[in-house]
Structure 1
Amino acid sequence: MRAQREFCDTYEGFSELCRCRDPLTPALARAAAPLVPLQESIPVVVATSRHPYHLYRTLLQLLQMPGGGQTPFLVALEGESAAIRDLAELFGIPCR
């Protein structure tokens, strides 16, 4: 929760993530996704260059879909954005 609090103190606009009462926790969002039987694991790459809030909404949608908690993700960042790197780290997703 400390990393999440630091993220929220630094960046604005992430209402569910940064609310004081019952905030969304990335690890719990991933764990809450319905499990599906998988034959193989196919990673998903999300490409972005800016707009961390759009990435946030995309990650939430992907993680909450059936099988989302079982799917490996990678954020492909073009350029440099501390907010996107910090957001991906908060979600436990590698960012390159």
Structure 2
Amino acid sequence: MEDKVVNDIKNIGVPLPVENVQQLASKALEEIPHRYIRPEIRKDEVSVNESSQIPVIDISKLVAGNTEYQTEMSKFHHACKDWGFFSGDKESYFAISVC
């Protein structure tokens, strides 16, 4: 028993002998060796619906005094809280920055 433990310790960090592809092909195996088979990876289902679309914020509506200010601020809050990011409407952004 002690000899096995000593041998196991000596083999730590020693790579396992692995046959190259040519050696495996020359054997005309009926089955793939177990060490080369990996388990199936179960992928999470992705739900695609309207609520999963990236929020688009119309920056021009975030100007105080705009009649749609509250609605756009609510969308902006949702985008930051639930998504962490949003897509801005470029045309309204450039219209604001030019003013």
* TM-score (norm. length: structure 1): 0.27
Structure scoring higher RCO (CA < 8 A, sep ≥ 6) equals 1
Q: Which has the larger radius of gyration?
A: 2
* TM-score (norm. length: structure 2): 0.26
**Greater strand share, structure number:** 1
